[in-house]
Amino acid sequence: MDPLITLEPTDLPWALGMMAIAIGLSSWQQLGLELSLAIATGRTILQLTVVGYVLAVVFALDNPIPVLGILLVMLTIATITARNRIGKKIPRVIPIVFGSIFFSTALTLIYTNLFIVQPDTWYKPQYLIPLGGIVLGNAMNGAAIAGERLASTINSSSLEIETHLSLGATPQQAVAGYRKDAIRAGLIPTLNSMMVVGIVTLPGIITGQLLSGIDPLNAASYQILIMFMLAFTNLITTLLVTQGLMRQFFNAQAQLRLF
């Protein structure tokens, strides 16, 4: 196998040239995206450079506290992002989303560590941080999509729900169909990715491993593992989020309340 080609700092200005061309094209076509592209470029450079230095320190320390600290920061940001998509008026959204993402991610990582990857130490940053990061990101998307779909559907279907309640249905029965639709919506991106992975797209994990010189079959095995992790995590997350949100739309007397 050919030796790994590493990127030197002098190579990145050439990569930056692609964004300069994109900004120029936006200006030429009067798209109005020049500022957004410039800000996105700057943030990408800053954020990934900082992350690179932080992860270098964490990898060198090989201690569970900084590893868990990074995952906690990721979890907090994921919770806030999903909450903003679902809506701020619904009570207890943050603990519902936080608990759902935390439980599903923790369960997935524990299962993966115990039965599949089996690193020397459970907190090995080389495995726990990248796997935890990609699972958290997808759990966030699943929670946001499913939660937003359920909340908007309940708010727009109050007459139908109240009719079911008046006929003797429980709150769970009255919104069961809406909850199923929300869960399906939260899983669509993951399922679509699984359908075309390796045929239409090469995801970032397998691409990164191939660029780093990993054997293609080993890289494919890791990508298979990750796709299964994402499907498992997203299903659990959407189940928990929709169950928690559903309860917020009904009071103790099983009466519907809208937000």
pLDDT at 153 over 70: yes
Measured distance CA(214)–CA(226) in Å, rounded:
16
Residue with the two structure tokens 């899983």: 187
* pLDDT reported for residue 9: 73
The pair of three-digit structure tokens given for residue 253, joined into one six-digit string: 């007397």
For residue range 155-183, list pLDDT tens digits in order: 999 999 999 999 999 999 999 999 999 99
Token readout for 173 is 């029965």
Distances (CA, A) of 214 to 4, 35, 116, 134, 218: 10, 38, 18, 19, 7
pLDDT at 205: 74
255 pLDDT more than 80: yes
Give the pLDDT confidence of 2-22 residue by residue, as tens digits.
666 777 778 888 889 999 999
**C-alpha closest to that of 188 among 223, 136, 141:** 141
**Residue 208's pLDDT is what?**
77
**Which residues, 6 or more positions from 98, have their beta carbon under 8 angstroms from its beta carbon?**
75, 76, 79
**What pLDDT is attached to residue 87?**
85
> What pLDDT score was predicted for residue 1?
57
CA pair distance 183, 218, nearest whole angstrom: 32
Residue 209 has pLDDT above 90, yes or no: no
Q: Whole-angstrom Cα distance, residue 12 to residue 115? A: 39
How much is the pLDDT for 3?
64
Please report, rounded to a whole number, the percentage of residues in the chain having pLDDT higher than 70.
98
Model pLDDT, residue 44: 94
Token pair for 201: 């797209």
Task: In whole angstroms, give the CA distance from residue 156 to residue 137.
Answer: 29
- Provide the whole-model pTM: 0.87
- 192-195's contacts with Cβ under 8 Å and 24+ in sequence apart are 193/227, 193/230, 194/227, 194/231
Alpha-carbon distance of 143 to 233, in angstroms, equals 10
Per-residue pLDDT, 81 = 94
CA atoms within 13 A on the CB side of 76: 6
Q: What count of other Cβ atoms lies within 10 Å of the Cβ of residue 150?
A: 27
pLDDT tens track for 39-86: 999 999 999 999 999 999 999 998 999 999 999 999 999 999 999 999
How does the average pLDDT of the chain come out, rounded? 91
Which pLDDT belongs to residue 187?
A: 96
Region of poorest pLDDT, from 169-178, 183-192, 217-226:
217-226
- Which residue, among 240, 245, 219, has the nearest Cα to 106 in the 3D structure? 240
Cα-to-chain-centroid distance, residue 107: 15
